[in-house]
Amino acid sequence: MKDSLVTVFGGGGFLGRHVAQMLMERGARVRIAQRDLASAMRVQPLGGLGQKQFVAADIRKPQNVARAIAGSDMVINLVGVLNGDFEGSHHDGAANVAKAAADAGVRALVHVSAIGADPQSPSAYGRSKAAGEAAVNAAFPQATIIRPSILFGPEDQFLNRFAQLISSLPVVPVIGAETKFQPVFVGDVAQAIAQAVDKPGLHGGKTYELGGPKQLSMMELNRWIAKVIGRQRSFIAMPASVASMIAGLGFLPGAPITRDQYAMLQKDNVVSTGAPGLAELGVNATPMEAVAEGWLIRYRRHGRFAGRVKD
């Protein structure tokens, strides 16, 4: 990979910054292709001099994509949205990237999808992710598809979001209390992506599902966070009728969940039985309890000045 040019669509995002750093540690030159270049600038302090390039690109626009990929040796597509234009970002955009990568003759393409990608998914998110995978496989059959579960890490909108809620409320409502997740550390996913793009002969044409070492229900996850941050709270599982009503207000600013996100909670977000994953990509899964306390500590009553929480 040394001195290869890798174009990373969405490289300025939460996962993208970790991927960019992992690639640069391996000696690659990284071109960050992002619609919002202001957010991409957070990659600027990473890597060495001359290892980073930045280009404005909207993957929904084929000409933008082709220009961003020109001269690349490898391509990674990380673009995903949790609301808004699912079809444009996950399906049309994925098709544009795969076609441009094939036309440019790049030697590897990694497309990041999601566990839950399914043409029959109850959510538009899941259906659009499945359509994106199909488009990628049609245009670039040797692409590697990566399906992670929910990502966690220092700047995530997952553990941090729940920790903030738990630290603010004496009684915490839990939507989708029985839904199971298999949270996976962002650094592990970045390492897996780097492995896949570096060895297309081994990983090309395959689909990997990435999950952490433990499955937790939404209720179990909330209770675990409360324990880590030293907050004694009462948790109430929201009845389906109430949760559905709240989700129906998802279009309002500040709403806790959208209707489509609620639809996603109707299915567990865990690795399929027998699916290849982190181990097959040479990555050891990091447990949440091994790393999360390092950033969740700020949600304790006295923040970083608090003592350790006893079991």
Neighbours of 202 (CB within 10 A): 13
Neighbours of 171 (CB within 10 A): 8
Among 110, 144, 93, residue whose Cα is nearest residue 16:
110
List CB contacts of 307: < 8 A, sequence separation 6 or more. Answer: none
The Cα–Cα gap between 231 and 26 comes to 41
The Cα–Cα gap between 58 and 108 comes to 21
Please give the C-alpha separations between residue 250 and each of 20, 83, 218, 294, in angstroms, as whole numbers. Answer: 33, 10, 19, 32
At 157, list the tokens.
């909108």
- Rg of the chain over Cα atoms, rounded to whole angstroms, equals 20
List CB contacts of 297: < 8 A, sequence separation 6 or more. Answer: 229, 303, 304, 306
Q: Looking at residue 307, what is its pLDDT?
A: 55
pLDDT along the chain (311 residues), means of 10: 94 92 94 85 74 92 97 97 92 98 98 96 95 98 98 94 93 94 98 98 98 97 96 93 78 65 91 96 97 94 61 49
Q: Looking at residue 252, what is its pLDDT?
A: 46
The answer to pTM > 0.85 is: yes
At 248, list the tokens.
């129906």
The Cα–Cα gap between 7 and 130 comes to 23
Contact call for residues 212 and 184 (beta carbons, < 8 A): yes
Ordered structural domains, the chain, with CATH: 5-152+184-210 (3.40.50.720)
